[in-house]
Structure 1
Amino acid sequence: MPGIFISFEGPDGAGKTTALQNLVPLLKACTDEELVVSREPGGSPISEKIRKIILDITDDHMDDRTEALLYAAARRQHLIDVILPALNDGKIMLTDRFVDSSVAYQGGGREIGMDEVAKINDFAIDGHLPDLTIYFDVTPEVGLARIRKDHEEAMDRLEQASIDFHKRVHESYLKLVKDNPQRIVSIDASQDPDMVVADALAVIQKRFPDVFNGGN
C-alpha cells in the first residue's frame, strides 16, 4: 500500500496540536498501518534548529522574506528526513502544519504574497502535497484569547504579532480552503474539543475508508 500523507492546519489557538494528540490513539485503534507523527517547523534535527531561529522572540528584526525562506528550508529538510521515508515505507504520515502554513502566515500575514510564497515552497516540496489537509477553523479573536489564557508568558514571535496580522492569516486560510476543495476540509474548531476530534476522525475515515476501517 502506498503511504498516506495528512497535514493539520489552523491559525494560532485553533487547538489543532491538542486535537492531533488526541486523535492519534483513535486512528491507531482503527487501522493496522503504522502512523508517523511530526510537526513543522521542525520534525527533524536540522529543521528543529531552524525552528529555534524562526520562533525566537529576540529575532524581532528578521526580514519577512528571510522568515519565509527559513520556513521553506526547514520544510525541505523535514520532507527529506521524515515525510518521504515514511511514505515510501507505506506508512501514514501525520504532520502538524505543512506548506499551507507558510502561504497563510508569510504570504498573507506578512503580506509577501500568497502566490510568491507558494512558489518558494513549490521548489522546497517538489510536488509532494498532502493527500488530505484538515483545517481547524477559529476566529483570530478566539484563537488569541485561548493562547493568552494558556501560555501568554511563553508566546512565540508569531503569536505575539498584531491582531491585524492574525486576521490576514485567517483570511488567507479561508482562501486556501476555497481554492483547494479536493484536498482541504475545514472543521469548526470553536466547538467542544471532543467534537473537534470526532469531526477530524470522521473526515479521515470518510476519505480513506479502506485504511481506517476498524483495524483488527
Structure 2
Amino acid sequence: MSPALHRHPRFISLEGGEGAGKSTAINAIREALHARGHEVVLTREPGGTPLAERIRALILTPDEEVAAEPLSAEAELLLVFAARAQHVRQVIQPALRRGCYVLSDRFTDSSYAYQGGGRGLEPEWIADLERRAVGLLPGLTLLLDVDVAVGRARANGRDLWPDRIESEQDDFFQRVRAVFRQRAAQDPARFRLIDASQDQAGVAASVVAAIDAWLAQEHPRD
C-alpha cells in the first residue's frame, strides 16, 4: 500500500500560471505572516536546495541550449519529483518541525497542471509519485487564476529570455489552467481561488485576506 499524504497546517503553497503575479503575492503573504509574529521559510519549486536548484536548471534550460536532445515529458516529471523529494526532506519538513510556516512558490499541484494537463501524463502516475516521494500536502493553497492571454502578455513583457516552460504555446497553458481550476474545485477545503486579473495591490490584498481567514481557523496540533 502506498503511503498516505499528510496535510500540514503551517505549509502554504502558491500556484498559478504564467504572469499570474506570484512574486507580488508571495511577498505580501510573507509580510503578513511576519507581522503576526510567525517565522516564515520562503522557498520555491523546482528548487529550494542546492541540488534541487541544479535539477531546476536542467528542467528549465531551453532544449536548444543543452545540445540536440529535447527533454521528454516523462524525464521532466521525474526530474521535478527528484527535486521535490530533496526539497521536502532538506528544507520543508525540518522547517515545519521547528514550528515555522513554510511558504512555497509552487508545489505538487504544479506537476498535475504542467506535466499532467500540459504534457498529457497520467494523473495516476503523478499521484503515486506524490505519495511515495513526497508524502506531504499544503494545509492551504492559494491559486492565482488569470486568463491565459492576460497572463502571457504580462510574462512576455517581463521575460526577455523565456525558459522551456514559458516558451510553450497558448493551448498548453489553457490545459494547465483547466487542471489548476479542476483541482481547486475538487478540494475547496485546501484551495482559495484568487482573481489574479486585478492589479498588484488588489492581488496582494486578496491573498492577505485569505491568509487572515486561514489563521483565524482552528488547526489541529501536529
Superposed CA deviations along residues 168-201 of structure 1, whole A, max 9, x for unmatched, are 0011111110111111110100001111111111
1:164 pairs with 2:171: yes
What CA deviation, in whole Å up to 9, does each residue of 1:122-149 have, x standing for no partner?
22212x1001000000111111111111
Q: Which residue of 2 aligns with 1:39?
A: 44
Task: Point out where structure 2 has 5 or more consecutive residues left out of the alignment.
Answer: 1-7
- Evaluate the alpha carbon distance shift between residue 115 and residue 57 of structure 1 in structure 2; reply closer, same or farther with a 3 A threshold: same
Secondary structure at the counterpart of residue 33 of structure 1: coil
Q: How many residues end up aligned between the 2 structures?
A: 207
Partner of 1:108: 117
Instruction: Give yes or no for contact 1:41–1:47 (8 Å, CA) kept in 2.
Output: yes
SS class of match (1:130): strand
Output the CA distance in 1 between the equivalents of 2:191 and 2:9. 18
Distance in 1, matches of 2:121 and 2:32, equals: 39
Q: Tell me, in whole angstroms, the C-alpha distance in 1 between the residues paired with 2:29 and 2:139.
A: 18
- 1:137 and 2:145 equivalent? yes
Any gaps of 5 or more consecutive residues in structure 1?
Answer: 212-216
**Contact 1:107/1:115, CA 8 A, preserved across alignment:** no
Letter in 2 for 1:173: F
Cα distance in 2, alignment partners of residues 15 and 39 from structure 1 = 14
Q: CA deviation at 1:119?
A: 2.0
Work out whether residues 37 and 95 of structure 1, in 8 Å CA contact, stay in contact via their aligned partners in 2: yes
Q: Secondary structure at the match of 2:216?
A: coil
Q: Is the Cα contact below 8 Å between 1:138 and 1:188 reproduced in 2?
A: yes
Alignment of 1:85-124 (within 5 A): 85-124=94-133
Letter in 2 for 1:121: E
- TM-score, normalising length from structure 2? 0.89
Q: Give the counterpart letter for 1:113 in structure 2.
A: E
Cα RMSD (Å) of the superposition? 1.6
Q: Does 1:50 align with 2:55?
A: yes
Q: Read off the aligned partner of 1:125 and give its amino acid letter.
A: V
Counterpart Cα distance in 2 of 1:123 and 1:13: 31
* Structure 1 residues 33 and 27: CA distance shift in structure 2, 3 A: closer
Structure 1 residue 115, shift from structure 2 partner: 2.8
Aligned to 2:5: none
What residue number does 1:191 align with?
198
3-state SS of the aligned residue for 1:82?
A: helix
* Residues 133 and 183 in structure 1, CA contact (< 8 A), matched pair in contact too: yes
Of residues 7, 10, 16, the one that matches 2:16 is 10
State the 1:207 CA deviation. 1.2
SS of residue in 2 equivalent to 1:129: strand
Distance 2:22 2:56 in 1: 18
Q: Is the 8 A contact 1:104 1:114 kept in 2?
A: no
1:148 maps to 2:163: no
Q: 2 CA distance for matches of 1:8 and 1:148?
A: 21
Question: Could you tell me whether the CA contact under 8 Å between 1:42 and 1:78 is conserved in 2?
Answer: yes
Q: Percent identity?
A: 41
